[in-house]
Structure 1
Amino acid sequence: MRRRMTLPAGATIGIIGGGQLGRMLAMAAARLGYRTIVLEPQADCPAAATCNRHIEAAYDDAAALEELARACDVVTYEFENVPVEAARSLENAVPVFPPPAALDAAQDRLAEKDFLTAAGLATAPYRAVDSDGELAAALEAFCGNGVLKTRRLGYDGKGQRVFRNAGAADTEGVFADMGGVPLILEGFVAFEREISVIAARGQDGAILAYDPAENTHREGILRSSTVPAGIGPATANAAREAASAVLHALDYVGVIGVEFFVLGDGALIVNEIAPRVHNSGHWTEAACHVPQFEQHIRAIAGLPLGATARHSHCVMENLIGDEALAAPRLLEEPNLVLHLYGKAEARPGRKMGHFTRLKPKD
């Protein structure tokens, strides 16, 4: 167990990635008295409006990384596709939380499944696919059904292809069509609902988890998260324990999102892990005294973790593309908390903001 290193007020936190999660992390850091520097190649990124300084450079730019390390007391990141070698190079000069090992585990879907299995957690059946022939063999093992995914860089449903009752003829040319990159075939799981747990681990090893959220997706994009989820206490506790197992196995510091499939008997299958603050935890901003973003800053700054109890039931919904134009109407609702990300262009499939409807707990 590492000794807790508490950052004093006025210290500087580096954030790799300037999207909406980086924006909200910078806002949370400012509330706790910290300065932030964001490394992000996009000039008008959402986090540029909330951080103290923006280094406009690629995530693997050696000079920019050296500049970030010199200027910061600790570095974190807002997305899981940060180049691992970049994070490791930073670690030689400044603490990096979550540890780069978490990126290693999450960036490759095959490595992620292997890690979860080694940690004693159940996953969907899976097989590595590096050719049409291996795809045909994997589909045969899974009775012709499964989801083929790129092992790296996929998100929000991108880089995926679904097979139902497929045969060998259906696999011809697929590997090339998917870019000729390493793939993984995951077998279907007969689940009743999808849930996620947002949990945090401090530098001293302390762990706290928020209540599980029940999630709905459309076209691979999270649409809503509802709390409480429609699960029993045993399933909720099992989800928290699984998240704790992941955090301990990675010697993690910070907030993590762990997604699950819930089976008919309440058993859990781990779908994936996200080593960062997570979209399905945005509801904590409105329904908890300490939201996930502040919790993450507390953890990486060596501060005590905050209480995770809810004061309200809630439903969080993402605003995708032009849906953000409904903001004035949404603001007419008395028990609604709105958060827009400051993105200039509303493209189809782009997350522009979210809102959370609150109602009293019974």
Structure 2
Amino acid sequence: MSAPLPAGSTIGIIGGGQLGRMLAMAAARLGYRTIVLEPQPDCPAAQVANSQIVADYDDRFALDRLARASHVVTYEFENVPVSAVQALADTIPVYPPARALEISQDRVTEKTFLNGSGIPTAGFRPIDSDEDLRQALVAFNGTGVLKTRRLGYDGKGQRLLRNATPSEADGSYVAMGNVPLVLEAFVSFDREISIIAARGQDGALSAYDPAENVHCGGILAKSTVPAAISANTANAAEDAAFAILQSLNYVGVIGVEFFVLPDGSLLVNEIAPRVHNSGHWTEAACVISQFEQHVRAVAGLPLGTTSRHSDCVMQNLIGDEVSGVDTLSREPELMLHLYGKAEARPGRKMGHFTRLTPRGG
């Protein structure tokens, strides 16, 4: 572990979306400056950061500039080119490590890693042709979720198959974009949860209480804390997250999504090597948010407390839902956060709000 970054140091952030915005805000509270690498001018993160480099994420000259201007670099989404992170890591500390990014970018690689770490997932088969899909459908009794292996998020690049015959595979590979795919076995689950966990440079581990999540159209709509799960299930989620962090020699915050089965056991759905949408509630219900926790970790500071002072429900404002902020702003015990996006498009996350209630109430 290196010495903590002194106040006034600069944290580089690759990606300029709302997660980068909230990281920059948390960094400022701790006395750090931020510089954002993002091709879109006036992106949400740049509106609150100290400066922005307007360039593609893999632009060599921009990466050199980011390295010179920063004392440590992090990233706010998992589709950053691994090669860019690896190049930066040759000259400057980058957290989380490139291996975590690489694993999370490919669903087959991710599930293979998890299973190799003793963490169960849904069954899966790599799909590189219609013939592969025909064989997988036979193995999974015609039911499963067909997904692109890379670049999928918010329900994009997915197709649900129910009682499909092998012949229905014909043309599916081309229809899904002629890219590597994976067929995941369909999971009959009671609920979806996620846990936000962190590992510091000193190896310290921490986790927030699991959130229960509801998705609409593949996009997270609502996270409720506490989740309606047993203490054993909550402990198992924390244990799985800690095992992942340790296996990757991780530094920073990670989001781990789970399916909760009827008997309370868990299957990991996916991991996100970054701060996570289902952890936004922490900025309202905890003294130390997931964003500050991430900044603390990458800056070499001690991890903060993950205890919460309230129960809560966080809801995303998606597309035109942002038009209701005037009414929301009048509610007591509600924290509103808008992302500074000018255009409300269908499926676009424009902000979120968190309603607080007394803990245990």
Q: How does 1:249-328 map to 2 (within 5 A)?
A: 249-328=247-326
Shift of 1:361: 1.0
What is the CA–CA distance in structure 2 between the aligned matches of 1:69 and 1:130, rounded to whole Å?
38
How far does the alpha carbon of each residue in 1:322-360 deviate from its partner, in whole angstroms, 9 at most, with x for none? 101111100111010000000000000000000000000
What is the CA–CA distance in structure 2 between the aligned matches of 1:44 and 1:136, rounded to whole Å?
47
Corresponding residue number in structure 1 for 2:232: 234
What is the CA–CA distance in structure 1 between the aligned matches of 2:78 and 2:89, rounded to whole Å?
16
How far does the alpha carbon of each residue in 1:113-134 deviate from its partner, in whole angstroms, 9 at most, with x for none? 0000011000000000000000
How far does the alpha carbon of each residue in 1:86-124 deviate from its partner, in whole angstroms, 9 at most, with x for none? 000000110000000001110000000000001100000
| Residue type of the alignment partner of 2:28 | A
Corresponding residue number in structure 2 for 1:23: 21
2:65 to 64, 67, 70: 67
Q: How does 1:1-362 map to 2 (within 5 A)?
A: 3-362=1-360
Deviates more, 1:222-231 or 1:165-174: 165-174
What SS does the aligned partner of 2:271 have? strand
| Residue type of the alignment partner of 1:73 | H
Q: State whether residues 199 and 255 of structure 1, in contact with CA within 8 Å, keep that contact through their aligned partners in structure 2.
A: yes
What is the CA–CA distance in structure 2 between the aligned matches of 1:116 and 1:293, rounded to whole Å?
25
Q: State whether residues 130 and 182 of structure 1, in contact with CA within 8 Å, keep that contact through their aligned partners in structure 2.
A: yes
What SS does the aligned partner of 1:49 have? coil
How far does the alpha carbon of each residue in 1:121-150 deviate from its partner, in whole angstroms, 9 at most, with x for none? 000000000000000100110000000000
Gaps of 5+ in 2: none
Shift of 1:190: 1.2
List structure 1 runs of 4+ shifted beyond 6 angstroms.
Answer: none
**TM-score normalised by length of structure 1:** 0.99
| Residue type of the alignment partner of 2:35 | I
Q: State whether residues 284 and 292 of structure 1, in contact with CA within 8 Å, keep that contact through their aligned partners in structure 2.
A: yes
Q: State whether residues 195 and 262 of structure 1, in contact with CA within 8 Å, keep that contact through their aligned partners in structure 2.
A: yes
Shift of 1:4: 3.7
How far does the alpha carbon of each residue in 1:187-208 deviate from its partner, in whole angstroms, 9 at most, with x for none? 0111100000000100010000
Q: State whether residues 5 and 203 of structure 1, in contact with CA within 8 Å, keep that contact through their aligned partners in structure 2.
A: no
What SS does the aligned partner of 1:44 have? coil
What SS does the aligned partner of 1:226 have? strand
Gaps of 5+ in 1: none
What is the CA–CA distance in structure 2 between the aligned matches of 1:204 and 1:87, rounded to whole Å?
22
What SS does the aligned partner of 2:190 have? strand
Say how many residue pairs are matched. 360
**TM-score normalised by length of structure 2:** 0.99
